[in-house]
Amino acid sequence: MPTSPNQRMKLLYLMKIFIEQTDEENTLTVKELLTALSEYGIIAERKSIYSDVELLRLYGLDIEMHRSKSCSYYLASRLFELPELKLLVDAVQSSRFITNRKSSELIKKLSSLTSDHRLSETG
């Protein structure tokens, strides 16, 4: 298989995809993971995704498989749970000594700790 310049970054992009796009309610199949990787210019084979997921698990990501008609994967646990992030966002928003600009920056950073699907739930 020909390699693209981004090919060496496949594992990092796969981790990014799990962090940004998956949670308990939003899982991705291997086919969807391949499509997501292709958006970064990475061509991969189905079989390689299984070993990549296992490597990410060994690294410490809590990736779980959901079985239904087809198998799909998601990041099961994160540094902060959604209620904790909501609490932190509320604290930042209600703080009188943080400027609006700094408040927005902090909320953006906190929002990066959850999936894109749950972003609207944090603030």
- Show me where the domains of the chain are located: 7-75, 82-122
Q: Rounded mean pLDDT of the chain?
A: 90
What is the structure's pLDDT at 70?
A: 85
For 104-115, how does the pLDDT look when each residue is reduced to its tens digit (9 = 90+)?
999 999 988 888
Strand partners, 72: 29, 66
Q: Which one of 1.10.10.10, 1.10.3720.10, 3.40.640.10, 3.30.470.20 gives the CATH number of domain 7-75?
A: 1.10.10.10
Please write down the long-range contacts of 59-65, taking CB distance under 8 Å and 24 or more positions apart. Answer: 59/15, 61/15, 61/18, 63/18
What is the pTM (predicted TM-score) of this model? 0.81
For 53-97, how does the pLDDT look when each residue is reduced to its tens digit (9 = 90+)?
999 999 999 999 999 888 999 999 988 888 899 999 999 999 999
